[in-house]
Structure 1
Amino acid sequence: MGKFLVAGVTQIETIVRVDKIPVSFAPMTSAIDSIYTAMGGDAYNESLALKWLGDDVVFMSIVGRNQDLEMINPPDRKITLSTEYIIPQMNDTPTEVVLYDKERRQQIFEDIKDLRDNSYDMSMVPPIAENCDMVVLANANFCRPFVKVAQEHDKPVAVNIRYYDKEKEKYNADFLDSAKVLYFSDDTLTEDPYDFIDRMATTYGTEIIILGQGSEGLMLYDKSQNLRIHYNTVKTNEVVNTIGAGNALFACFLHYYMETGDSVNAIKNALLFASYKIGYMGTSNGFMTTDQLEQWRNLIWGIK
Structure 2
Amino acid sequence: MSPTVLVAGVVSLYISVNVRGFPVTYEPSAKPGWARSGTAGVASHIARVHRALGNDVRLCTLVGRDTAGEAIRAELRRDGLSGPGVVESPSSSLGVVLVDPSGRRMGMPHLTALDRVEYPFEVLREQARGADLLVLTNAKFVRPLLPRADTLGIPIAVDVHLIDDPAGEYNRPWLERARIVFCSHERLGDPRAWVADLLRRYPRCEVAGVGMGARGALAGLRDGRLVEVPAVAPAGVVNTSGAGDALFATFLDGWCRHGDAGAALRDGVLHAGWKVGHRLPASVSLTRAELAALRAAAAPPVTWGRWDG
CA distance in 2, matches of 1:167, 1:294: 35
Report sequence identity in percent. 28
Q: In terms of mean alpha carbon deviation, does 72-81 or 109-118 score higher?
A: 72-81
Tell me the TM-score normalised to structure 2 length.
0.89
CA distance in 2, matches of 1:106, 1:75: 23
Q: What is the match of residue 80 of structure 1?
A: 80
Counterpart check, 1:207 vs 2:192: no
Counterpart check, 1:19 vs 2:20: yes
CA distance in 2, matches of 1:221, 1:166: 17
Q: What is the match of residue 131 of structure 1?
A: 130
What RMSD in Å do the two structures reach over aligned CA positions?
2.5
Q: What is the DSSP-based 3-state SS (H/G/I as helix, E as strand, rest coil) of the residue aligned with 1:275?
A: helix
Q: What is the match of residue 93 of structure 1?
A: 92
Q: What is the match of residue 118 of structure 1?
A: 117
CA contact (8 A) 1:59 1:86 kept: yes
CA contact (8 A) 2:13 2:72 kept: no
Q: What is the match of residue 170 of structure 1?
A: 169
Amino acid at match of 1:221: G
> Taking structure 1 as reference, are residues 64 and 283 closer, same or farther at Cα in structure 2, changes over 3 Å only?
farther
> Taking structure 1 as reference, are residues 41 and 142 closer, same or farther at Cα in structure 2, changes over 3 Å only?
same
Q: What is the match of residue 71 of structure 1?
A: 71
Partner deviation per Cα, 1:10-32 (whole Å, 9 max, x = no partner): 11211111111111222221245
Amino acid at match of 2:269: L
Q: What is the DSSP-based 3-state SS (H/G/I as helix, E as strand, rest coil) of the residue aligned with 1:284?
A: helix
CA contact (8 A) 2:15 2:37 kept: yes
Partner deviation per Cα, 1:95-151 (whole Å, 9 max, x = no partner): 221111123322232321232221101122223323100000111222124433442
Partner deviation per Cα, 1:135-194 (whole Å, 9 max, x = no partner): 0011122212443344222100001112114398212111001001111011222x2212
Q: What is the match of residue 286 of structure 1?
A: 284
Partner deviation per Cα, 1:176-217 (whole Å, 9 max, x = no partner): 01001111011222x221211111111112111111111111
Q: What is the DSSP-based 3-state SS (H/G/I as helix, E as strand, rest coil) of the residue aligned with 2:210?
A: strand
Q: Displacement, 1:77?
A: 9.4
Q: What is the match of residue 194 of structure 2?
A: 196
Q: What is the match of residue 37 of structure 1?
A: 37
Q: In terms of mean alpha carbon deviation, does 255-264 or 57-66 score higher?
A: 57-66
Q: What is the match of residue 2 of structure 1?
A: 3
CA distance in 2, matches of 1:173, 1:70: 34
CA distance in 2, matches of 1:207, 1:255: 16
Q: What is the DSSP-based 3-state SS (H/G/I as helix, E as strand, rest coil) of the residue aligned with 1:163?
A: coil
Q: In terms of mean alpha carbon deviation, does 65-74 or 43-52 score higher?
A: 65-74
Amino acid at match of 1:81: L
Q: What is the DSSP-based 3-state SS (H/G/I as helix, E as strand, rest coil) of the residue aligned with 2:170?
A: helix
Q: What is the DSSP-based 3-state SS (H/G/I as helix, E as strand, rest coil) of the residue aligned with 2:150?
A: helix
> Taking structure 1 as reference, are residues 142 and 132 closer, same or farther at Cα in structure 2, changes over 3 Å only?
same
Amino acid at match of 1:237: A
CA contact (8 A) 2:146 2:173 kept: yes
Q: In terms of mean alpha carbon deviation, does 122-131 or 254-263 score higher?
A: 122-131
Q: What is the DSSP-based 3-state SS (H/G/I as helix, E as strand, rest coil) of the residue aligned with 2:112?
A: coil
Tell me the TM-score normalised to structure 1 length.
0.90
Q: Which residues of structure 1 form unaligned runs of 5+?
A: none
Aligned residues: 300
> Taking structure 1 as reference, are residues 67 and 60 closer, same or farther at Cα in structure 2, changes over 3 Å only?
farther
> Taking structure 1 as reference, are residues 54 and 74 closer, same or farther at Cα in structure 2, changes over 3 Å only?
same
Q: What is the match of residue 235 of structure 2?
A: 237
CA distance in 2, matches of 1:14, 1:281: 11
Q: What is the match of residue 269 of structure 2?
A: 271
**Moved segments of 4+, more than 4 Å:** 67-70, 73-78
CA distance in 1, matches of 2:101, 2:155: 38
Q: What is the DSSP-based 3-state SS (H/G/I as helix, E as strand, rest coil) of the residue aligned with 1:44?
A: helix
Q: Displacement, 1:229?
A: 3.2
